């Protein structure tokens, strides 16, 4: 597990995927601090790592990265940690399009081609 505070390459993500699930890397994005934790079996492990690092629960969102895919298929907004009725999110996805767009921007900033 690691926290991306600077930048990584897509090749780094591909290596992580090959070493774990084969085609995906689980990640948790801190939408406020604009950092990403990657490379764990469970989103909850990455969530815990970011909480220990000073993140706030309300800012953490789970995603999956598919390094072999492009466009909209690169990021999948699906994680149990996203189920937050108190924040208006009642599914494993991320229902707020503005938040989805922010996460897409953070991922694009931190993971370079």
Which two tokens mark 32? 């406020």
One-letter-per-residue 3-state SS of 47-101: HHHHHHCCCCHHHEEEEEECCCCCHHHCEECCCHHHCEHHHCECCCCCCCHHHHH
Digits of tens for pLDDT over the chain (113 positions)? 999 999 999 999 999 999 999 999 999 999 999 999 999 999 999 999 999 999 999 999 999 999 999 999 999 999 999 999 999 999 999 999 999 999 999 999 999 88
Write down the pTM of the prediction: 0.96
Contact 28, 60 (CB under 8 A): yes
Q: Pseudo-torsion of CA 89, 91, 96, 102, nearest 10°?
A: 100
């Amino acid at each position: 597990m690691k926290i991306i505070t600077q930048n990584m390459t897509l090749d780094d993500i591909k290596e992580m995927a090959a070493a774990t699930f084969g085609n995906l890397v689980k990640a948790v994005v801190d939408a406020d601090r604009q950092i990403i934790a990657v490379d764990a079996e469970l989103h909850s492990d990455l969530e815990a790592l970011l909480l220990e690092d000073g993140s706030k629960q309300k800012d953490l969102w789970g995603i999956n990265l598919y390094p072999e895919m492009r466009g909209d298929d690169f990021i999948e907004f699906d994680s149990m940690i996203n189920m937050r009725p108190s924040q208006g999110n009642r599914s494993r996805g991320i229902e707020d399009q503005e938040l989805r767009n922010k996460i897409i921007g953070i991922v694009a900033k931190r993971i370079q081609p």
